[in-house]
Homo-oligomer: A and B are copies of this chain.
Amino acid sequence: MIDYQAVLKKHKPTEAQNSELKAIAQSIIDKTEEVVKRLSVKAKVLLVGSVAKGTNLASGDLDIFVVFSKDYRTREMEELGLKIGHEVIPDGSEKYAEHPYVSGYVGERKIDIVPCFELTPKSRIISSVDRTPLHTEFVLKKLGDAGKDEVRLLKLFMKTTGVYGSEIKVSGFSGYVCELLIIKFGSMLKVVEEFSRARGPLRLALNGEDTDLEKYDSPVVIIDPTDITRNAAAAISEENYSRMKINCRMFLKTPHAGYFTDDRSYSPELFRERGTAVRIFLLERPEIIDDILFSQAARFRGILVQILKEQGFEPINSEVELSEKIEVLVECKTDRIAGTRVHMGPPVDAQNAMDFISKWMGNSLLGPYVCGNRLCTDIAVENRDLESVVREDLKKFSIGKNIDHLKEGLEIVDPISNKQKYLVTGKFYRKELRE
């Protein structure tokens, strides 16, 4: 039997932590309201997110929303939002989601001051951020105290299995989706049972909302009760849905506390026994928001894999992660390709057969020669080393608007000889299912 109270004790904020959190939240709210008043802005200040809903883990952020009257134009709202944010958190930095906002720290606690428009359940959508206050309201109304801890357990389960987070980098389950699942099924265990039984896509409406569930083609569809035209689970990738399903089945077969705390640790030394060529490609990280950066980093990974595949290094695994750097790991079957490539030429009967011979005669390791009804020739491969092939071929590609200029600074690391730790190495190993 798993001692869920022990699990919660480890990850749930203590009374003292919660009091401190509330005090910080209240002081930020007071400060924000003061600025709003001073600038004569028509806006309400709201604590939203997991702290507001009481479903936060010990490590949770504080999300303060400045909810503007719809009298403002978007541009005006955004400018005022930033102005307010900077006044409240003087050393905060600007970030860009659907609206720009200011993010900073009070002690170790991350705080976001996010402007949005006031929205009623029936009103026209301006942006999905504007809906956040409605989510907070809905969850506060529907989720009891017991439910809040179940949400925490579900989040922990999803964190350890790598599917928690709706940002593009993760493409998994958001906190709001966790809350909706607990509201729908009642407990973490019931949710896990539900996923363990699921085959194919999952389609849920909380209260039998009058909507056509079949019109969505996302792997998971959960109708947002605050806007029945929206799939609250649209961010979830097929891989993460698959991962959730199989982890739920495995947990029910052999339940243990390891599903709520990821205490596995890996040494890059483990790469040695794989008998492959692993390289970590590092780029400097530009100052743009994760969602945009991650898309470009993913494209960079795709290009690296494509180059290595085309040149015969046979990539078999790859991962991408963001830390202070962009980290891409690619594992290949070899880091040195053969010195000879067989180049297939035209059929001997083709018009250009003699041209092919003139071109390669004296420029081949062997050939041209006849193979079947065609000409072939064995060409010397000059660039046989993984790292120099990548550096050379990468010149031909644009890897993304915001990172292309960073290619020159590309660092290539062999994790077997370089003992530094990289986030992407952990990601590589953590995809492994739990025993």
Contacts and interface: CB of A to CB of B under 8 A. Distances in A.
Interface of A: 199-200, 238-239, 242-243, 245-246, 249-250, 253, 273-277, 312, 314, 316-317, 331-334, 337-342, 347-349, 353-354, 357, 361-362, 365-375, 378, 380-381, 384, 429, 431-433, 435
Contacts of A372: 238-239, 242
Contacts of A431: 366-367, 369-370
Given A245-B348, A276-B338, A342-B317, A433 B365 contact: no
Contacts of A368: 432-433
A200 B245 CA distance: 59
A340 to B, nearest CB: 5
A252 to B, nearest CB: 11
Contacts of A347: 242
Contact of A246 (B253, B314, B341, B357): B357
A276 B312 CA distance: 13
Contacts of A375: 246
A419 to B, nearest CB: 20
A275 to B, nearest CB: 2
B378 A317 contact: yes
Contacts of A371: 239
12 contacts: A238-B372, A242-B347, A242-B349, A242-B372, A246-B357, A274-B366, A276-B339, A334-B334, A366-B431, A367-B433, A368-B432, A369-B432
Interface of A, helix, strand, loop or mixed by DSSP:
mixed
A339 B273 contact: yes
Given A333-B312, A369-B433, A433-B368, A348 B274 contact: no
B357 A250 contact: yes
B340 A384 contact: no
Nearest to A356: B246
Given A274-B365, A275-B339, A340-B274, A433 B357 contact: yes
A384 to B, nearest CB: 7
A429 B378 CA distance: 11
This chain: copies in complex:
2
A367 B428 CA distance: 11
B275 A373 contact: no
A393 to B, nearest CB: 19
B317 A384 contact: no
A93 B340 CA distance: 45
A366 B429 contact: yes
Contacts of A367: 431-433
A342 to B, nearest CB: 5
Contacts of A242: 347-349, 370, 372-374
A72 to B, nearest CB: 44
Given A370-B239, A372-B238, A354 B249 contact: yes
Nearest to A219: B373
Contacts of A246: 348, 353, 357, 370, 375
Contacts of A334: 334, 338
Given A246-B348, A277-B338, A317-B342, 8 more contacts: A239-B370, A239-B371, A242-B347, A249-B353, A250-B354, A273-B339, A316-B342, A331-B340
Given A275-B340, A316-B342, A357-B250, A362 B435 contact: yes
Q: Which of A276, A342, A374, A380 neighbours the largest number of chain B CB atoms within 10 Å of its CB?
A: A276
Nearest to A365: B274
A333 B342 contact: no
B339 A274 contact: yes
Given A349-B245, A357-B250, A433-B357, A340 B373 contact: no
B239 A384 contact: no
A332 B361 CA distance: 23
A312 B367 CA distance: 25
Contacts of A374: 242
Contacts of A238: 372-373
Contacts of A370: 239, 242-243, 246, 431, 433
Q: Which of A242, A243, A384 neighbours the largest number of chain B CB atoms within 10 Å of its CB?
A: A242
